[in-house]
Amino acid sequence: MKNVRNGIVAILCIVFLGNILGGEGTSVVNTVSNEVVALNYFDALKVKLEKGMVKADLILLVDSLLEKENIDSNVIDLLSLKINEEYGAPWPIDTNPYPAHDVYKSWNTLMPHPYKSDICRHDSETTLSLTDNFMNCGYEHPIEGVVTSRFGWRNDRPHNGIDIDLVRGDTVRSVFRGVVRLAKWTGGYGRTLIIRHNNGLETIYAHLYKIMVQPGDIVDPGQAVARGGNSGASRGSHLHFETRYKGKPINPETIIDFKKFELLSDSVVIRKTKQGYVSFQPGTQFHKIKGGDYLYKIAGMYGVSVNQICKWNGIKRNHILLGGKELRVSK
């Protein structure tokens, strides 16, 4: 019966949203089906709450959805919003004492990814300082180990961080000064630590064996904050390390040199794209594609190889160049 109802809701919503948005687009259909899925989960959670489930368990249950590979993270966001609307935020909202309040205006100690995409809507490009007084005393590497998996697409799924090999129990350190936002078990991440820094970056340390700090703790760069491990959806002990801005993952290798265990430079440029953000070093050159351009020609213009261009832009040699788009053509 529920499925029938949701089917009808979905069809009505498609027609309704279609009218508002002027018709077409698969994104409309996706949005609606995400909403329907989220509502389904919400109904199920409601039953559990009515049967006496406490809020802490409810949050754990929502987190456990992150483990399920076929669930769109937007569904979890929608579900969280719905829970907030209906039951009030079960987490502290008083945010003023926390870092980068201007950027986030919220402080959530229970959900790893609580941010709505609204907070990036008006962004274009911003330069984040990594070493000034504001960041207090610079950078320390989280754990000096070999990188075993990089940021980017992996088995048709995005890998939102970088994996560093370790032995269970090895010390994991905070990279910058910041305040612990989240320190708990969260679905696929296993035991997870999230630290918010003054420049708005958040760093995530996942699959931990032991967490040694609590939400609200101020941590310094290099401070031992956890022991590495293999918790959550992990095969073999390693640290899964993410850098995020406004909730969107950015490639840690545009900020940190994982071989020298140091920052690449004093700042990083973050540019809004359709999907989220890209980040790069200040001074990085871009080429705006024009009619008649091809990779070999562009490579010649900037004295770099086609291979380098492909690597910097995450494209293949046979990538179709669209006029007006930009290609990164320098380090």
Structural tokens at position 148: 């075993």
Name the 3-class secondary structure at 245. strand
Nearest distance from residue 34's CB to Zn ion, in Å?
25
Structural tokens at position 274: 């359709």
Interface with Zn ion includes 77 (CB under 5 A)? Answer: no
Pick the stretch among 114-122, 213-221, 233-241, 273-281 that binds Zn ion (CB under 5 A).
Answer: 233-241
Nearest distance from residue 240's CB to Zn ion, in Å?
3
Nearest distance from residue 194's CB to Zn ion, in Å?
15
140 to 159: interface string for Zn ion, x by CB under 5 A: --------------------
CB-neighbour burial class of residue 136 (10 A; exposed 0-12, middle 13-18, buried 19+): middle
Cβ closest to Zn ion, residue 100 vs residue 164: 164
The crossing angle, in degrees rounded to 10, of helices 26-50 and 55-64 is: 150
Pick the stretch among 4-12, 61-69, 93-101, 163-171 that binds Zn ion (CB under 5 A).
Answer: 163-171
Cβ closest to Zn ion, residue 35 vs residue 163: 163
Q: Any residues with CB less than 8 A from the CB of 92 and at least 6 apart, and which?
A: 107, 109
Q: Give the number of residues in contact with Zn ion, rule: CB under 5 A.
A: 2
Structural tokens at position 11: 């069809």
The crossing angle, in degrees rounded to 10, of helices 73-87 and 55-64 is: 160
Query: Could you give the residue ranges of the DSSP H alpha helices within the chain?
Result: 2-20, 26-50, 55-64, 73-87, 101-104, 295-302, 306-313
Query: By Cβ distance, which residue is nearest to Zn ion?
Result: 240
Q: Which of 227, 240, 244, 248 touches Zn ion (CB under 5 A)?
A: 240
Q: Any residues with CB less than 8 A from the CB of 9 and at least 6 apart, and which?
A: 36, 39
Pick the stretch among 47-55, 74-82, 122-130, 161-169 that binds Zn ion (CB under 5 A).
Answer: 161-169
Nearest distance from residue 261's CB to Zn ion, in Å?
18
Q: Which of 63, 77, 163, 170 touches Zn ion (CB under 5 A)?
A: 163
Chain positions contacting Zn ion, by CB under 5 A:
163, 240
